[in-house]
Structure 1
Amino acid sequence: MTTAMGAALRRIQLGNALSAFGNGFTVPFLFIYVSQVRDLGASTAGIVLATFAVAALVVLPFTGRVIDRRGPLPVAIAGTVSAAVGSMGLGLADSQSLVVAAAAALGAGIAVIQPSLATMIVWCSTPSTRSRAFAMQFFLNNLGLGVGGLLGGQLVDTSNPSSFVRLFAIESVMFLVLGAAIATVRLPKAPKVDDAMPTDGAAKGGLRTLLADRAMVQLCVLGFVMFFACYGQFESGLAAFAVEVTRISPATLGIALAANTAAIVLAQFVVLKLVERRRRSRVIALVGVIWTVAWVAAGISGLVPGAHGVATALLISTYALFGIGESMLAPTMAPLVADLAPARLVGQYNSAFALVKQLALAVGPAVGGLMAGGGMYVAYIVMLVVCSLGISGLALRMGRRLTPAQEIPPRVSAVRAKGGAVRGGEEAGRSERAKVSV
């Protein structure tokens, strides 16, 4: 990686971390703010949360093509402006229509920022450094959200609406800081993705190309199940199960969420060293196994109400295990999307995967909430155990369609290539294939 690329990547990561920090000030308190502080009711708060998903689903189908035709930088800046306006609007809005409109602007902005930043990271990294770049982004995101949430909890006062205006103002400013940081980035004239610079006709036929790519389609199906079975349950079914069945207090639930963040922050770079040496499909399959154990632990926590300490420990372990799985996915999924994408369609592949994520995050809480509301907790746990096992099966099946360069990160391929040059014979042949893949 050149010095200029490294400087550009550092600015992107710094801006991203600060925006996550600002986001952490408001995310834990949004439902309470809309329903209680602004006195608009739980139904309006639910509409606001749904608006985030709807706004993302509306803009993402167009985002990828614009990124590939115009470049990720102007799209990312437009997203930060929209998110900043939406965030400040939420802080000032005092009616249902204004709150929903502000949520739409914020949701659309965040949805646009995600694939734009992912594409910028691809452009500013090499195949051998990409896994670490995405791992760092995930680490800083979670660290920023965690620190922001802790500080926001100290500033918030449900009896004082102005304290929430302060939180949303901080978030809005942090989005503008992200925009200013990436506006100073000078993307490489020749990104480390051959022919990746946008041209007038380069983005045409992107959807057809993507749908014909069986490996990418399988990755999208896998991604949907993955986000549905984990991220989509945190704020709905799993939280309801923890409170209603395991019988933990809301304060303990906060500790469990903190355990999830702590597991990610502490494990990220330890896990990265292991992930870089393994086939990506097998890493994802292992995540499915870890999440299966997590859901089994959650189920058992509901069966031992008499041993409250054991039940609480099992529930907290569930959240921690999810964090370990997430830390394994961060350096695996996003680089794999980039490696699957034809050079001219990196933006559209990133946007398609972001769209799948948003669909799962919209469907997951709805299904989890309905099953929790109906008291179907046994069926709920069984469903998610099956989904987690399905992640392992889908990952191994997808692995059959991946090339060696897509399966094994180039950093490891290069090391093996050097070793093969010494040993000769069959290993030398592997060395040549590794050199070609890099």
Structure 2
Amino acid sequence: MKPIIKVENIGKQYRLGNVGTGTLSHDINRWWHKVRGKEDPYLKIGETNDRTKTGGSEYVWALSNINFEVNPGEILGIIGKNGAGKSTLLKLLSRVTGPTKGKITSHGSIASLLEVGTGFHPELTGKENVFLNGALLGMTKKEIAAKLDEIVDFAGCNKYMDTPVKRYSSGMRVRLGFAVAAFLEPDILVVDEVLAVGDAEFQKKAIGKMQEVSQGEGRTVLFVSHNMASIQNLCNKVLVMDRGTTVFLGDVDDGINYYLNSNRELNHMNFDKNEKRPGNGGLKFLSIGLKNESNKQINEVFSGNLLNIDIEIEIFKKIDSPRFRIQFMDLKGVIRFLCNNNFSNKESLDLPEKGKVTLRCVIPAFPLPKGSYLVQLSCFSRNGTEDDIEAAIEITVVGGDFFKTGREQNSSEGVLVKNNFKLLS
């Protein structure tokens, strides 16, 4: 079978700290090498895409030596840590930007949903944007009109189709954007993680539609997500990326296990140091510790027991309205529950402008059943993300007596909650 997408030795290089391709001297140097039939000298330099190290070069390879093929009708899941190069790869495949080196061969039309509102003109109405996107895909006005009712019904935005898109919420934009991309019948559908913005009902509809598009209509889907359950249920092949390269391509379950195991190892390395991570750099997480109600360090958590989570932080500048979030995820990446000071504290945290502090989160009765979970630490402010670690630690939960009934709760599904059953009649 002839592949619908073929990627050969793709690389994408960016210049750090500046907008543009470089200085005038660099452009002249490139031209001088070109007229003599020599390779671009700046293709030979540059750091790898490693967020944990400070590079000495002003160039960085966001992607390097990417090779893979996708056949018609396949759903390829693309997974990896933040900054691994997933979105950059999708932009190259969608022809939003071009590769620095290598070759991408694709056959047929491509519809992309890369970021919230991508492809929409904010001043045009929802209906006008549907026709605009269809025209960009090479469809006639009559063909688009024939699909309009299906698009509107799927998106659930019928009341707002004559309203400018700039008035839409992010969820509405994602709904309409996905409906446009899916129903205008592209040969290749490219979906980045924007579905996470939508509600659970829409995510279920979107995944069902992607399965229908692939299995029923034989079209190809490229799907990026951090939700391993969605990847497992939807995809028939997985590509794992790390630091701008591909490290695995093949079976879905094997790929997910590879990613989760390597992800935990990488995130636990040097956590107590100020390695470079996504964020504004206003503060850095230094360490995390688990303590019981007697304030003693513990390695295992018991269901139903009080848990103190101590997070050591180094602050470099004044943080405006800090919001700390601790997410507990199972090993498939599904969020089981989270803690957020923005919802639980009556007053905002008054952090110092500089220095090291320890923040404590108290969970009176830990609600998860026994098993292994990953903990994600995040800090947000009015300026955006300050620091974010996807899998700071892995914790082991022991099935304690959550309900105080003398029986251990062994369920691996759902969050445990206090409840009471009564016989009404």
* Normalised-by-shorter TM-score class: under 0.3
User: Could you say which structure has the larger radius of gyration?
Assistant: 2
Higher RCO (CA < 8 A, seq sep 6+): 1
- TM-score norm. by structure 1 comes to 0.23
- TM-score norm. by structure 2 comes to 0.23
